[in-house]
Homo-oligomer: A and B are copies of this chain.
Amino acid sequence: MSRLRGRSRKVTGPRQAILDLLRRHPHPLSNKEIFAALPPGECDLATVYRSMHLLRAMGLVKRFDFGDGVARFELLADGDDGHHHHLICTQCAIILEVDECFPRELEEKLAAKNGFQTVTHKLEFFGVCRQCQPTANKK
């Protein structure tokens, strides 16, 4: 909230509702999911799109892509750069946050080898979760 106010941005009903939702829901959410989860009439879909643009530009939110062409957003803690990865079940789509990260020194080696600077990465894991394993094996 204060992070909005600090930059001549207004704290409005729709924005509070969206931020509240993201706070309660610690996993990446798509625009449509956000819209659907909000009480009807609380916020227009167009406003969701506009808000996510804004929040992302302000660094309050981070965008993730799981390879299905749908953008998903996650709230960032103040000062957090949000660099972490997910483990996603390809059957039921449950999303776990993971600590593992691509080794720093390997990344630096790669950057040097190719003459690149300020290299980062996007990394997501996919598999079959415990609950879905019986189902997956059956087929």
Contact = CB atoms under 8 A, between A and B. Distances in A.
Contacts of A111: 127
Q: Which of A111, A122, A136 has the most C-beta atoms of chain B within 10 angstroms of its own C-beta? A: A122
Interface of A: 63, 65, 67, 69-71, 87, 89, 96, 98, 100, 102-103, 106-107, 109-111, 114-130, 133, 136
Contacts of A71: 69
Contact of A120 (B98, B103, B125, B129): B125
B123 A127 contact: no
Contact of A87 (B69, B102, B116, B118): B116
Number of copies of this chain that the complex holds: 2
Contacts of A119: 87, 125-127
Given A65-B65, A65-B67, A110-B87, A127 B118 contact: yes
Among A103, A117, A118, A124, max chain B CB count under 10 A is at A117
